[in-house]
Amino acid sequence: MTGSAEGADADAESVPRERRAVVAKRVDAGDADLAEITQLAAAAGYETVGELTQTRTEDAAFMFGEGKVAELRDLVRRSDAGAVIVDNDVGPYQTFNIGGELPEGVEVIDRFTLILEIFGQRANTRKAQLQVELAELRYELPRAEAKASLAKRDERPGFMGLGEYDESVERDIKRQISEIQDELESIAAKEEARREQRRDSGFDLVALAGYTNAGKSTLMRRLAAEIDVDENADRHPDLDTTAESQDMLFTTLGTTTRRAEMEKRDVLLTDTVGFIADLPHWLVESFESTLDSVYRADLVLLVVDASEPVEEMREKLVTSHDTLYERNEAPVVTVFNKVDRLAPGELADKRGALSGVAPDPVAVSAKTGAGVAELRDRVEDELPDWERERLVLPVSDEAMSLVSWIHDHGHVDEESYASDQVTVDFEAKPSIVARARSKAAGLAPAEST
């Protein structure tokens, strides 16, 4: 059990009290790790000024033991904190009870409320805003239902000080959820049409997946070309010419698609919001349309922070596989990132230890560029096979237009001219080859061999 204040006086004047937080966590056994919740707090704009942990079974009334809550109260006073962030799923009555023991005005925030706050800050598009609203409503619904049940049972509005119960609130939440789902389905249909249009244009779709802070955004910057795919899309901050990657969770929310630089294939690379441990089902479901970019890709790059301990890497790989293989049919390539942080021989040891969950990973450093060329080759090797075709066309304006179209939609290995014909040897997606044949058939006299 621990409780400590950090820099309570050093930053008191520079950080508003409401953004100064004590982070706390209870675990049933072992030692509580506050590293991730501290990162999440920083991502939401909080300054951590104190820490408290406890190892014991959950207390139904307070989450922590009553003595530990008293210790938490004293820590909040010493550190002049305006918020307590609990790295647990704290029930509504536990939240109320803890808050009643703290100095007036101190907010109690549980893990999922904090994540929703971060999402809300990062939601810059209509789709992202809708997903955040949906998650917030799904978070609130069981609390509204619990309040209704207890209010009816005890026949007293405002049970446990949670406010007067109004049964219309529950109905309104369900109505809003339904309306948001309908709008998200409409957006998803448009995005699917856009994906198919891009495939018809000869692009392969590659998605970056993985936990937050694995380095996905930095890797995207390494792989991406300078051309924006969608002029209306928000530019990813890591891809701005003056921006640096931030060591912060959830620097972006939603998806960003960029054209990647490859030798032969035209690839569109999509970066999505990172996975995070212990997310409840209702929260994952709220961002399902964002995960469609992963589920419907031609290839997924699963990025893992290779500088983390083996057991942590293993746990994240297993969880990621459960998420990806649930609906995804595309091949998955595991990328061990941040290898520049490893000691000599450490990479080989981790490859061996994790061979069961990552049998053939590509090792890279997105920061230095090491291994990125090998990753490009692997991407092209793992994408669905192209067909080879040889077309012999008459020399005409229409034929030259077709040759130009083939260059744009496939990879031309050889192009040769005779007095009255042009021969094009190329590779492309089967759908592109079929369309090229169809276009050539309309060019008389034309020959295909």
Residues at the binding site are: 210-217, 252, 271-274, 337-340, 365-367
List Cβ neighbours of 18 (8 Å cut-off, separation of 6 or more). Answer: 82, 83, 107
Q: What is the Cα–Cα distance from 174 to 186, expressed in whole angstroms?
A: 19
Burial level of 91, CB count in 10 A (0-12/13-18/19+)? middle
Query: Could you tell me whether strands 421-428 and 411-417 are parallel, antiparallel, or unpaired per DSSP bridges?
Result: antiparallel
Per-residue buried b or exposed e for 396-417, using 16+ beta carbons within 10 Å of the residue's own CB: eeebeebbeebeebbbeeeeee
Query: What are the residues facing 269 on neighbouring strands?
Result: 206, 258
CA atoms within 13 A on the CB side of 406: 34
Specify whether the CB–CB gap between 46 and 22 falls below 8 A: no
Query: Which residue is it, tokens 């790790």?
Result: 33
Going across the sheet that includes 332-337, the strands are 224-228, 256-260, 266-271, 203-210, 299-305, 332-337, 362-363
Per-residue buried b or exposed e for 36-47, using 16+ beta carbons within 10 Å of the residue's own CB: bbbbbbbbbebb
The binding site for GTP consists of: 210-217, 271-274, 337-340, 365-367
| Neighbour tally for 262: CB within 10 Å | 19
> 76-80 contacts: CB < 8 A, separation 24 or more?
76/22, 76/50, 76/102, 76/103, 76/106, 77/103, 78/5, 78/8, 78/50, 79/5, 79/6, 79/8, 79/20, 79/22, 79/49, 79/50, 80/8, 80/12, 80/17, 80/20, 80/49
Helical H segments across 48-110, by residue range: 66-79, 92-101
Amino acid at 2: T
Specify whether the CB–CB gap between 429 and 385 falls below 8 A: no
Q: What is the Cα–Cα distance from 86 to 204, expressed in whole angstroms?
A: 43
The binding site for Mg(2+) consists of: 217, 252
Classified as helix, coil or strand, 1 is coil
Q: What is the Cα–Cα distance from 399 to 417, expressed in whole angstroms?
A: 12
Q: What is the Cα–Cα distance from 117 to 42, expressed in whole angstroms?
A: 12
